[in-house]
Structure 1
Amino acid sequence: MSTVQQPHSTAEALLADGTTVEIRPLGPDDHRAVLGLHTAGMSEESRRMRFFGVSRNAPEQAADRLCGPPRSGLLGFGAWAGEELVGEADCEVLDEPSETAELALVVADRWHGRGAATLLLEHLVHAARQRGIRFFEADTLFGNRAVHRVFADLGLPVERRCAQGEVRIRVPLDERDERYRSAVDERGRRAGVASLAGLLRPASVAVVGVSRRSGSVGRTVLGRIRRGGFAGEVWAVNPRAGEIDGRPAFPSVRALPAVPDLVVLAVPAGAVPGVAEECGAVGVRALVVLTSGLDAHQARGLMRACRRHSMRVVGPNSLGTAQTDPAVRLDAEFGGAFPRPGSAGIAVQSGGVGIALLQRLAWLGIGVSSFVSLGDKYDVSGNDLLQWWEADDRTDLALLHLESFGSPRAFGRTARRVTRTIPVLTVDAGRSTAGRRGAASHTAAAATPTVTREALFRQAGITATRSIDELVEAAALLHAQPLPAPRGAVAVVSNAGGIGILAADACADAGLLLPELPVGLADLLPPGASVRNPVDTTAAVTPVELTHLLRALEREPGIDAILVCLVPTALGVTPDRDPVYALLEGPARRRIPIAAVLLDQQVPVCYRTCADGGVLPVYSDSVAAARALGHARDRARWLAEPASAEADPPDCDRRTAGSLVDRYLAVHPEGGWLDPLSTADLLEAYGLPLTTSVWARDEHAAVAAARGLRRLGHEGRAALKAYWPGQVHKSALGAVRTGLATDAEVRSVYREFARRFGPELAGVVVQPMAAPGIELLAGIVQDQVFGPLVVLGMGGTAADVLADRAARLAPLSERDLTTMVAELCCAALLSGTGGAPPADLAAVRSVLARLSRLAEDFPEVVEADLNPVVVRPDGAVGVDARVRLERRPSFDPYLRRLRRPAVAEGE
């Protein structure tokens, strides 16, 4: 039995140098390893620092304490590199109950300076917080600089008291502290980048599975690496060939003259685990697995080898990778032509999408910094590549195609940081509308895959497109032009009125504004021109006139972008007649972005070179150009949003709520919907406003309750709601009656419920009638992959019909609380229209903040649905609520760990 008294699964994570270690609880079987860590793993000076003196019994006593009989207040974790225990961290509550635990930390001497201590502490902090521990305390010697540096770098505030050469350290464990999360992020980024060096900047490469047969995958990749000008050594591995293409081939990785940094595997699926183990044993740093069709056993063997030997792996089922850095020039893929060098980083799950992207970028003229086909994505993910591109000095544009997410919240946090400096674009793959479950709440029905993914992308500042073509069209503008102002006011200019009108419609569809233009612009154009927006220059416009117009529009303070649409005319294509020359003779990058549409262009989008050597994006269709400008406007808006702290509502009683959740799941281990009273108690613990409710089990109790509540109700009326376990949507089933003014009406309704619902009727909920107001829906849904989603929308019986909703992934920021309300189509109603007073928006924001915190604190709350929430000028109150609980493990998305693909773990 493990000494650790609370669940904590084994996790793999990266040290600062990219080494993979396994973090797991210590138990009785680890006694020898713990004793060895405190003896052979430590010098005499290290033991003196750890135990405040030299004691022969101290290591044995430490091992006995950590690996002996269970101790209720003890948590202990070890970090293992292969079979070696490289460090341990433990804490113990000495006087229970207490919120403070004594901390101890040891790292083997030869592993100092590689981040093992902070990694162990991060996992211990998480486990301790789950146990209700809020402070660590530790004694250390004044001269123990290594320990003091660990605490200084941790990111949490540290209190120190010095006395007689010793230092008493006290650390408050606030995992929500943004300084702590940022410190964890930075350690994770450095470790991730270090671990990818062998993959993306290898000094040597071997291809295993190189066939004699021309056209085979392995031989094709080997040839491309050699022809591409790879700067390092390249070796072929084939156990049955002495040479291939006139160069030596080796029978195994062990037989190579040196250890390659990167190995590309093009072997049958059954051979993958064995080759991976051989690579790891000799010290290979990274694998690219081109092989597809691995079964669960083979997948587990591959991942065990990679984790045990600190190898990162791309694939399986990968198209390969490419790195255009002149110092590397690695073309280890079997797609199209080797991409031209440039600054666009590309990561795709689908090899076909990767080939299409590379082709379109090549046609456009955008070069690539690095290309990675992630394949089945057992290990290296889009999150890893974002961190790499953030750190390299070549990438200024990131393009992603991701069909799945291992840890969406970790990905979103990384993306929010990266998109502040470079545009990140994605093809939103896998959009679909989820069928509504019969027992789902309105909130769950709203939480479709599309809504959830859109929330992730919006909060992370990612430009999400719906096709490869749209991705490339948006990339063309973002790569070559400045961003417009967040307002997105566009001037449309055309030499044909009908085309200009179509372009103006496309801009409006993209959410762009078309402001009125100064009438004085007409003086710059030929007779008959119109300067209403869109501007019709007529076909008689000359390049000089168009140039003057564009310069004038660029100076207009109310214009944020220009869209120029030109059609070929019969006036002759000469420098003095063709208006395209006006675009190309000017600078490519102006104060505001400019995009052109040439209707006779054969390709969807291309670059035209301007006089200053820069490029101008030119589209064949005004819809594509307007859509690209819309994406640029959205990015400008996101960048303009001020940094916002996580919403932190006061007076949330986590202890009371936790007791309620634990009691319910102890009785209902399969989960289920809370009864009305338990629902009210749970939501009240988090300060969520609910109308007064009284539970009545029979007719007489219902009458008595209604008599008392009618005094509180609007116009002296009450409402009755029938209830039975597992109930679905009360209104649709006729289980709600409102406006009851007399005892007789209450009796009549109760008897009607009894006749209609029979023995399944458990009772009724009696409430005072709420005063009229705007009815909203507010709720949360726990997605198994994405985590908690908070939904706000129009409520009442129109919730599913109108589908006016905004959604964000928790935790919500203070900014999210405002933008969610502003995004609703009914926002104008909330702000007050036709002389009506505005609704209490602060009360709405409070509801959202409290739902977000409830969802973060309790993943067991898989659905919570407040519908309607009646919002009035004097506040907001929930009239009806439903909550569903299920057993869910606690998951900290910010805890550093490598992802575990389900197929590779046999889950």
Structure 2
Amino acid sequence: MTDDALGRPQVHALLADGTTVRIRPVRRSDHDQVRGLYEEMSPENLRLRFFTAGRASAGPAADRACAADRPGRRALLAETAGRVIGIAEYDTAGSAHSAELAVAVADGLHHRGVGTLLLEHLVSAARADGITSFTADALSENHEVLRLFADLGLRTTRRFEGPEVRCEIALDASDTYLSAVEERGRAADVASLGPLLRPRTVVVIGAGRTPGSVGRAVLHQLHSGGFTGRLFAVNPGAQAILGVPSYPAVGAVPATVDLAVVAVPAAQVPDIAEQCGKAGVRALLVVTAGLDAEQSEALLTACRGHGMRLVGPNCLGVSNTDPAHRLDATFAADRPDPGTAGVAVQSGGVGIALLDGLSRLGIGVSSFASLGDKYDVSGNDLLQWWESDGRTDLVLLHLESFGNPRAFSRTARRVTRRMPVLTVDAGRTDAGRRAAASHTAAAATRTMTRGALFTQAGITATESCGELLEAAALLHSQPLPAGTRVAVVTNAGGAGVLAADACAESGLVLPTPTPDLAEDLLALLPEGAAVGNPVDATAAVSEEQLTACVDRITRYGGIDAVLVALVPTAVAAATGDDLIRALTRAPGPRPKPVVAVRLEQALPMRLLPAEGGGTVPAYAEPQAAARALAHAARRAAWLSRPVGTVPDLDGVETARARAVVDAYLTAHPSGGWPEPRVVAELLDCYGIPQLPWAWAESEDDAVLAADRLRGADGRVVLKGHWPGLLHKSAQHAVHLDLRGDQQVRAAFRDLDTRFGNLLTGVIVQPLAPRGTELFAGVVQDEVFGPLVLFGLGGTATEVLADHAARLAPLTDHDVHDLITAPRCAPLLFGADGGGPVDLAALESLLLRLSRMASDLPQLAEADLNPVLATPGGVTALDARVRLLPRRPQDPYLRRLR
């Protein structure tokens, strides 16, 4: 997003056919173009828009649209190549929550999504202004505009009044609307990537005549790889390179170019991009590295201005192994084998390693993109491509950054229901962003934030490229296990012990066989076999016996997967038995995953062809096999759950909360930590339960408050307060267990004596009953959005670091996972003998905290510590929030980076 000269937001976004438009506020200087938009309409379209066929309405309509900004009115236009192609506007006419809507699209550009895109942006702006509904009048015969309103995904009601229709559109942010926006975005994204991944014409700019240049290497890969389209080079000093026709400039190429590969020095990249745009190129692949900030901005400006999608700069390239295209626009040494895995990376070196690994395993690649510095095309774009390309059934990602994590999360949640999505969690050790401002900020590391994203989206996150390929091999070749119960079978006791340890360390369970199963196995295996778990089949086991053993175990309902750890023995060699064949000779795929561990295997993993079709993964280490099975079990568990929903909450006063925040930021423009009364009012707006309290600025006030708040046991607490005080216990600014007026007075005097120059007052509360002290908080990540944290509370919360996190808004499943994830979770269910706490109340508190964070982007941090949980309820004993002046942004609004 960029801003115009007046600081108003403007964005680029994709139309339904994949072309790029700019959406921005209307300016006074747009008057002539807006008037021209109306005057160029056909008489019929003028009649449908203004209820009259005359062109006299064009001038007044342009006057209204381009008038000076005033409260309650907004107008947005869509433009491409400097031409206005559509306009949408609303006017509240003094109404607090409703506005009159109008929209118009240039003749010849209907049915391309211009009006829909404008309305999506107008809806987002209206919501930010507190508007809850649009009204619009249309002629009943104006089927296009009525369909436009109906297809938005918002609740629309119609009232017919003679030849006119009065439409009312509710602007609620329902999941139905978000899904509709998401589907339109997916279709537009896929259309825009066609010139990049299925180009009909490719030109390589910067291919040298002598070996050694990156451009020449890319041209060689395209040419020798049998690219099915037309291929050209641009080099002023050559008529042909590697047998490919060459021209002095891209504008001289005798064809409309879909994809231009740019491999020129960094200083030339912006000018080349502008030339490509003027020549009608539809996508750029910039492999050049080392662009400075000015060159980078000029490159992206050229791409946006001419509607070109961009991969890179500083990237390895893209490829598509589809036989209909055979596109290999990379400078990798080896060409990827065709297959079914979609791969997206930012690092070219990681990309080469993954391509090599997938080819070696026989999985192969459907399409590959090295995104480099990722100025435009992102992992989210490619997820949507693979979702619909008809060739991909497995996705591998190595992304070091996320442009719009919440949009990525929504896309990934959908895609992972259809195919496994695996990633390397890069940058796990970046804890440098940890802040000491509050418990919440201290806990919210980038590792925790990324982990929450991956967990909620169902993404399989690994710690290395090797682990990524381990999991990919199993997910590609075997059915998912129904659970974590694993049977280990081995022909060597030591190998079985190693495998059992590896399974336990990965969170897998090795159940003891039932007597019936044990009896059956003893009958199948050689004398001396041990049929516990691991099952030691002994070195004397034959191929036939091992086959029967594995088949019997896979039919047993108490086991979800089988790990077979084998070592070569002289006994098997003498008999000619091939124990590995016992796993691959099955007449068809087994109903449960079976994996092999071959300690003598030179390669880390292999996929062994099975006689009945498919493959069986074989690992060189039991830890690799166990990790892969654990990843598969987690994926199966995630898929088995229904899609979560964000629950409706009663008693939420969002408008009042926004007014509280606005009032505070008006008085404190740079933000800060509001005083307790402001914090309490914010929590009250969301129905978050708080322990009763009173504010006192004098000794007598403290005594009166204590008399009013004392419980049955007569004890109270005094907490000192001053601006910037964050950790009261660490500052010894808390007095507990105070009885009687004299103790209250003494406590107040102590605080006043020690902190007199700072102290602005004290908080008086009744002494809380016994219970489990928990911690709940929110931190707004500038990239990922609000993150809700939960765990063990009290003064040791940071020392123990027993926290879990999920990204807001929380669904019903997310909040359950959040409560059960910390190590302290058993305490909540009565593990200490005290009975379970009020789990429904705890879930409600976390959902309300999530809602507050989602509603208020100005809420930089919220820290509830401790939160007291008892069987009778949940209460926040202490709370702090930090507010910052932040403009709301709709994370689901369609826009390019």
What stretches of structure 2 of length at least 5 have no aligned partner?
none
1:115-154 superposed matches below 5 A = 115-154=113-152
- Deviation, 1:380, is 0.3
The one-letter code of the counterpart of 1:586 is A
Asked if 1:595 corresponds to 2:591, the answer is no
Mean Cα displacement is larger for which, 125-134 or 372-381? 125-134
- Within the candidate set 279, 284, 287, 1:282 is matched to 279
Q: How far apart are the structure 1 equivalents of 2:434 and 2:270?
A: 41
Render the CA deviation track for 1:304-342: whole Å, top value 9, x for unaligned: 111111110100001111110000001110113110111
Q: Secondary structure at the match of 2:268?
A: helix
Letter paired with 2:497: I
Corresponding residue for 2:502? 506
* 2:610 is aligned with 1:610: yes
1:476-517 Cα shifts (integer Å, max 9, x gaps): 0000001001x2111111111121122111111111111111
Q: Which position in structure 1 is the counterpart of 2:45?
A: 46
Contact 1:492 1:534 in 2 (8 A): yes
| Structure 2 letter corresponding to 1:897 | R
Does residue 855 (structure 1) correspond to residue 853 (structure 2)? The answer is yes
2:251 counterpart SS class: coil
- CA contact 1:9–1:24 (8 Å) conserved in 2: yes
How many angstroms does 1:588 deviate by? 6.4
Q: Would the aligned equivalents of 1:796 and 1:868 in 2 still touch at CA under 8 Å?
A: yes
- 1:835, CA displacement in angstroms? 4.4
Letter in 2 for 1:68: A
Return closer, same or farther for 1:419/1:579 CA change in 2, 3 Å cut-off. Answer: same
Give the secondary-structure state (helix, strand or coil) at the position aligned to 1:21: strand
**Matched residues in 2 for 1:574 and 1:236: separation?**
62
Q: 1:174 to 1:529 in 2, by over 3 A?
A: same
Deviation digits for residues 828-850 of structure 1 (CA, Å, limit 9, x no counterpart): 22112354321100110011111
For residues 561-584 of structure 1, give each alpha carbon's deviation from its aligned partner in whole angstroms, at most 9, with x where no partner exists: 111100111214267433222112
Residue 902 of structure 1: aligned partner: none
Please point out which of 463, 484, 489 is paired with 1:488. Answer: 484
The 1-side partners of 2:69 and 2:584 are apart by 77
Partner secondary structure for residue 10 of structure 1: strand
Contact 1:348 / 1:354 at 8 angstroms: preserved in 2?
Answer: yes
TM-score by length of 2: 0.97
For the 8 Å contact 1:588–1:615, the answer to whether it is kept is no
Indicate which of 132, 152, 159 corresponds to 1:161: 159
Deviation of 1:433 after TM superposition, in Å, equals 5.0
Question: What is the Cα deviation at residue 106 of structure 1?
Answer: 0.2
Could you say what secondary structure the match of 2:810 adopts?
Answer: coil
Partners of 2:367 and 2:668 in 1: CA distance: 52
For residues 800 and 493 of structure 1, the distance between their equivalents in structure 2, rounded to whole angstroms, comes to: 43
- Give 1:443's match in structure 2, choosing from 440, 445, 455: 440
Letter in 2 for 1:121: L
TM-aligned CA distance change 1:587 to 1:270, over 3 Å: farther
RMSD: 1.6
Q: Secondary structure at the match of 1:744?
A: helix
Distance 1:897 1:781 in 2: 25
Distance of 2:738 and 2:587 partners within structure 1? 73
Greater mean alpha carbon deviation, residues 648-657 or residues 395-404:
648-657
Q: CA deviation at 1:439?
A: 4.5
Aligned pairs for 1:728-739 within 5 A = 728-739=726-737
Q: 1:191 and 1:679, CA in 2 relative to 1: closer, same or farther beyond 3 A?
A: same
Specify the code of the residue in structure 1 equivalent to 2:728: K
Report the secondary structure of 1:347's partner residue. strand
Tell me which residue corresponds to 1:11: 11
8 Å contact kept, 1:647–1:811: no
1:179-225 deviation digits (Å, cap 9, x = unpaired): 11111000000000000000000011100001112121111110110
Contact 2:473/2:617, CA 8 A, preserved across alignment: yes
Aligned-residue offset at 1:98? 2.7
TM-score (norm 1): 0.96
Unaligned runs of 5+ in 1: 900-907
**Contact 1:99–1:135 under 8 Å retained in 2:** yes
Query: For residues 386-421 of structure 1, what are the alpha-carbon distances to aligned partners after superposition, in whole Å with 9 as ceiling and x for unaligned?
Result: 000001010000000000110000011100010000
Contact preservation (8 Å) 2:815, 2:846: yes
TM-superposed deviation, 1:768: 0.5
Q: How far 1:707 sits from its partner (Å)?
A: 2.4
Q: Letter of the 1:23 partner, please give it.
A: I
CA distance in 2, matches of 1:472, 1:747: 67
CA distance, structure 2, for counterparts of residue 405 and residue 389 of structure 1: 18
Q: Distance in 1 between matches of 2:92 and 2:891?
A: 26
| Cα distance in structure 2, aligned partners of 1:374 and 1:574 | 53
| Cα distance in 1, alignment partners of residues 858 and 69 from structure 2 | 28
How far apart in 1 are the matches of 2:68 and 2:351? 55
Equivalence map 1:260-659=2 (5 Å): 260-435=257-432, 439-485=436-482, 487-518=483-514, 519-520=518-519, 521-573=521-573, 576-587=576-587, 589-659=589-659
Aligned length: 890
2:225 matched residue in structure 1: 228
| CA distance in structure 1 between the aligned counterparts of 2:665 and 2:613, rounded to whole angstroms | 67
Partner SS for 1:377: coil
Deviation of 1:165 (Å):
1.4
Tell me, what secondary structure is at the counterpart of 1:765?
strand
Q: 1:631 to 1:243 in 2, by over 3 A?
A: same
The structure-2 alpha-carbon separation of the partners of 1:561 and 1:437, relative to structure 1 and needing over 3 Å to count, comes to closer
Kindly tell me: are residues 575 and 284 of structure 1, through their superposed partners in 2, closer, same or farther at Cα, counting changes over 3 Å?
A: farther
Query: What do residues 844-876 of structure 1 show as CA deviations (whole Å, max 9, x unaligned)?
Result: 001111111100110101000100110111110
Q: CA deviation at 1:435?
A: 4.7
State the 1:70 CA deviation.
Answer: 3.3
- Within-5 A mapping of 1:638-787: 638-711=638-711, 715-787=713-785
Give 1:756 deviation, angstroms.
2.2
SS at match of 2:252: coil
Does the 8 Å CA contact 1:439/1:728 hold for their aligned counterparts? Answer: no
Structure 1 SS opposite 2:757: helix
Would the aligned equivalents of 1:319 and 1:373 in 2 still touch at CA under 8 Å? Answer: yes
Contact 2:315 2:373 in 1 (8 A): yes
CA distance in 2, matches of 1:477, 1:103: 54
The answer on 1:60 being equivalent to 2:59 is yes
Of stretches 821-830 and 665-674 in structure 1, the one that deviates more from structure 2 is 821-830
Match of 1:904 in 2: none
Whether the aligned pair in 2 keeps the contact of 1:648 and 1:849 (CA below 8 Å) is no
SS of the residue corresponding to residue 669 of structure 1 reads coil
Q: Deviations over 1:658-699 (max 9, x none)?
A: 111111111211111111111111111111111111111122
- The answer to whether the Cα contact below 8 Å between 2:13 and 2:895 also exists between their aligned partners in 1 is yes
- Check the 8 A contact 1:142/1:167 in 2, yes or no: yes
Q: Which one of the candidate residues 821, 824, 830 is aligned to 2:822? A: 824
Partners of 1:671 and 1:886 within 8 A in 2: yes
Structure 1 residue 711, shift from structure 2 partner: 2.9
Please say which of residues 438-447 and 277-286 is displaced more in the overlay.
438-447
For 2:113, give the aligned amino acid.
Answer: G
Q: In the superposition, relative to structure 1, how do residues 268 and 32 fare at CA in structure 2: closer, same or farther (>3 Å)?
A: same
Displacement of 1:247 in angstroms is 4.3
Once the 2 structures are TM-superposed, how far is the Cα of residue 812 of structure 1 from its aligned partner? Answer: 0.5
SS at match of 2:778: strand
